[in-house]
Chains A and B, each alone.
Chain A
């Protein structure tokens, strides 16, 4: 069949088919919500929903931070360190220097972006794998922060910070809206801007992109800069949540930062990201974790159940995907297929 304009819209995979992975993930999340709600009524109490939305917000942004670098086929192991640098910088600026909150936060975000840029710059200039560079810079950034701050906590921040952290909109933390807002911006970036497309192209096939005129080095540097800024945002969200700037923030970000995007369909190899998928991925994990806690699964066994349910969830999603594909093929000429099989 040669392409003809008229056939184009018809043959183009429908929006629904394109989003089938996300719909599948969403369906699984709904399944868990139904399950947890019926088993443990406390799960949908407004207190729990608030708590859930708040931890979700941070996990989503951490996931974004890794996602934008995965887009280039690279990794950023330094997100935790960048996050804590921004956190401590904001704490210093607000508590010691007494700068207004917005100024301090903006400068902290800039610092995060700068540290990310530094990563990207060194990676591109040296040609060394991003894994190694960011492994080393994670140590460097954290170390510099410790040297400068002597690991002192800033816990006399302006009270508005903590108040904002406790704020609720119905039963949802406003932090979640910040996270979703960042998500929307990222959707625009990767779908509708040349820059986002170039980042993806560079991640999918750097050589081909380069020969097509994509400034691959620049795309990688920008992705890292963005990752740094997002890591800083996640850090600042934690400052708001905890009402203090502490040096221990960011130490446990690494795995969740990968979990959300990868569950959501972002390729580790680069070239494809799913912003909504990352949100859903983080949502799935948060749901499972919170559900198990509310269901009072034995203390020490919680990790086991978390692992098993995660496995079950990804397998469910996988088989749903295979099934959906079969169905869409089968519809075409199911009769002939059947006869072919019996032959």
Chain B
């Protein structure tokens, strides 16, 4: 097709690095004119929307967007669809009501929930935990906090949550806060669940520095430091997401929709999340010592599955 598709993260962040390759692969595999990875200069919503707007003027015909803000992006998406340009939320969802065609990504609530459950299991079903979270003003943070609390509540008091520490997604703030936490309470707490990229990395590193294998940590994403922590026993596990798959499948589907060959099915087996009613799980899996060598293959397998069944499950095509 002659579609030009842009994949746009919220800002510069290592998580999205695989999107570049995913886009290229998708363009080659599905014969799309272009699938370009375009990064806003800074992690700011207005820069993201300005980028989207300028790409429209450059003739891009479909957008895969990680919303810089789950609510704030909607107005822009609305304008896109008004111009017959489809957009899909990738990696993270936009908050309903939204004109995003669908959301292919990590269910932040579910991921945090599963991560906490994994942590509870690693702690032997009881103890005290701390939740490390990202920007407090990000609507997703609230969802993650709720998810952690839900998982904790299900233990009927065997596990208690000591505190949520937020605004840890800048390196230095994370280092300062997490170390302060360990300094104050390392003997009291039994586990930490991190629902943001940077605190996961920093917590993994801090536990290694401390030489502490008693405190269990379940993080998110597969940063090298976290994976090393898993191999060496400082980290119990991490919730892998599937950035490559999101970019690859996202581009594939957007191409179909933008070409007009397919439309999104209303009664497809969508997952309903607190954020959106049109959610597709891009694959969340727990990386632990057992699968740390092989999880990539697992993710690839998932990606292949989603891609091959997508048309039938979620789209109506001519």
Contacts and interface: CB of A to CB of B under 8 A. Distances in A.
B264 interface: no
B224 to A, nearest CB: 21
Interface in A237-277: 241-244, 246-249, 251-252
Contacts of B173: none
B306 to A, nearest CB: 27
A30 to B, nearest CB: 20
Given A241-B75, A243-B74, A246-B71, A293 B42 contact: no
A117 B12 CA distance: 38
B79 to A, nearest CB: 6
A151 interface: yes
- Which of A58, A302, A303 has the largest count of B CB atoms less than 10 A from its CB? A302
B143 to A, nearest CB: 11
Given A248-B137, A300-B12, A47 B56 contact: yes
B46 interface: yes
B137 A299 contact: no
Given A55-B46, A151-B142, A246-B137, A162 B58 contact: no
Contacts of A300: 12, 39, 41
A248 B58 contact: no
- Which of A51, A150, A252, A302 has the largest count of B CB atoms less than 10 A from its CB? A51
Contact of A42 (B57, B97, B135, B137): B57
Range, interface on chain B: 35 or more
B44 interface: yes
B57 A43 contact: yes
Nearest to B142: A151
Interface in A22-55: 40, 42-43, 45, 47-48, 51, 55
Given A151-B142, A152-B142, A248-B45, A162 B53 contact: no
B298 interface: no
Contacts of A155: 71, 74, 95, 97
B41 A303 contact: yes
Contacts of B53: 47-48, 51
A173 to B, nearest CB: 11
Contact of A45 (B51, B57, B70, B142): B57
Interface in B25-66: 37-39, 41-42, 44-46, 49-51, 53-59
A290 B47 CA distance: 10
Given A242-B72, A246-B71, A299-B37, A293 B137 contact: no
Given A290-B50, A299-B39, 7 more contacts: A47-B57, A47-B83, A244-B74, A244-B75, A248-B72, A252-B46, A294-B58
5 contacts: A48-B53, A55-B50, A166-B79, A244-B72, A249-B72
What are the nearest 7 A-B pairs in CB distance?
A: A293-B54, A42-B57, A51-B53, A247-B137, A248-B137, A48-B57, A299-B39
